[in-house]
């Protein structure tokens, strides 16, 4: 089975890594060679961490890397694919354009999946001529480690497509959970209001960053506090998801906190920008990523 992954960023390279480690032939596609090089460097580093922990062998590392081919041309990268997983930026207009292009560039039997964390699968499928073969595969970050995959059915997604993707996810060693297509799905419909309320709590001066996260970790047995988790996800991503939910439900409870909006406007996105609710030096970023693979 041939897999194409669109986007070599955090999620895309993690998805490519996961499929390749499971023995699939993977085409990793991005618009620039620089992005592809960064993505492959990340995959190599993460494999090295797994090798150091004796979770894989040196042979498995080399086979995983051998299974991945990079492309800057979309048509070439996806023409032989049986499944395409799109993992581009969480922007609805960009995703709609990508899916229009994928619909034209892939064979009629190819399943088109999106890793979106909030955008309507039904809306994405509507720009294609194969809505029954469009589905959501929402992986969790870091993809090689986290077990959950939300499998989101659009309004027209067929039972056959859903079963194939559920079965494939299990072959990757994941735990797929089928959900229906409503803003935020399950994971973010519950998670993002919690993160937003934590930001509101900080904004209202109830407690500080450390104190809010400590209450949730020690009092609610969360492995990571909501503000630290927001930094790890990306504050810009959190804001985007909340905006999709606020627009989709027309309910003020999903309105992003003004503090979150201002932080994103100021370029404070969390770990990836070096500053969010916490400060992250380059060494601390590397340390935190390493801890996720420990």
From 163, 136, 175, 5, select the one nearest 82 (Cα to Cα).
Answer: 5
158 classed as catalytic: no
Task: Flag whether 8 is marked binding.
Answer: yes
Q: Which residue has the tokens 């498995």?
A: 60
- For residue 112, whether the previous peptide bond is cis, meaning omega lies within 30 degrees of 0, is no
Residues across the chain: 294
Q: With helix as H, strand as E and coil as C, how does 232-279 read?
A: HHCHHHHHHHHHHHHHHHCCHHHCCCHHHHHHHHCCCCEHHHCECCCE
Task: Flag whether 272 is marked binding.
Answer: yes
| Sequential pLDDT tens for the chain (294 residues) | 999 999 999 999 999 999 999 999 999 999 999 999 999 999 999 999 999 999 999 999 999 999 999 999 999 999 999 999 999 988 999 999 999 999 999 999 999 999 998 899 999 999 999 999 999 999 999 999 999 999 999 999 999 999 999 999 999 999 999 999 999 999 999 999 999 999 999 999 999 999 999 999 999 999 999 999 999 999 999 999 999 999 999 999 999 999 999 999 999 999 999 999 999 976 565 555 555 545
Task: Flag whether 106 is marked binding.
Answer: no
Q: How far apart are CA 45 and CA 232, in angstroms?
A: 18
150 classed as catalytic: yes
Among the options 46, 150, 169, 246, which is catalytic?
150
Q: How far apart are CA 29 and CA 292, in angstroms?
A: 25
What is the token pair recorded at 208? 């500080």
List domains and CATH numbers for the chain: 2-180 (3.40.50.720), 188-288 (1.10.1040.10)
Q: Tell me, what's the pLDDT at 225?
A: 97
Q: Tell me, what's the pLDDT at 293?
A: 47
55 secondary structure, DSSP code: S
Among the options 17, 27, 35, 138, which is catalytic?
138
Task: Flag whether 90 is marked binding.
Answer: yes
DSSP SS3 for 71? strand
């Amino acid at each position: 089975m041939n897999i194409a992954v669109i986007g070599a960023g955090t999620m895309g390279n993690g998805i490519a890594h996961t499929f390749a480690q499971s023995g699939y032939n993977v085409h990793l596609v991005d618009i620039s060679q620089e992005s592809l090089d960064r993505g492959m460097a990340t995959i190599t580093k993460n494999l090295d961490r797994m090798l150091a922990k004796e979770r894989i062998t040196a042979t498995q590392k080399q086979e995983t890397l051998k299974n991945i081919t990079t492309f800057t041309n979309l048509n070439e990268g996806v023409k032989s694919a049986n499944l395409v997983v799109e993992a581009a930026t969480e922007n609805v207009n960009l995703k709609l354009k990508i899916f229009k292009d994928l619909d034209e560039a892939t064979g009629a039997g190819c399943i088109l999946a999106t890793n979106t964390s909030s955008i309507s699968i039904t809306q994405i499928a509507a720009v294609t001529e194969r809505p029954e073969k469009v589905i959501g595969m929402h992986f969790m970050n870091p993809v090689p480690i986290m077990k959950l995959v939300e499998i989101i059915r659009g309004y027209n997604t067929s039972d056959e497509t859903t079963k194939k993707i559920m079965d494939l996810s299990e072959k990757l060693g994941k735990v797929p959970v089928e959900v229906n297509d409503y803003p935020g799905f399950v994971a973010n419909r519950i998670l993002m209001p919690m993160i937003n309320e934590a930001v509101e709590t900080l904004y209202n001066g109830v407690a500080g960053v450390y104190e809010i996260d400590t209450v949730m970790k020690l009092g609610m047995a969360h492995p990571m506090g909501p503000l630290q988790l927001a930094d790890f996800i990306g504050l810009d991503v959190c804001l985007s998801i909340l905006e999709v939910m606020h627009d989709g439900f027309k309910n003020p409870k999903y309105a992003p906190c003004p503090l979150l909006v201002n932080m994103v406007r100021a370029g404070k996105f969390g770990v990836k920008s070096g500053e969010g609710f916490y400060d992250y030096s380059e060494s601390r970023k590397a340390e935190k990523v390493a801890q996720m693979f420990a």
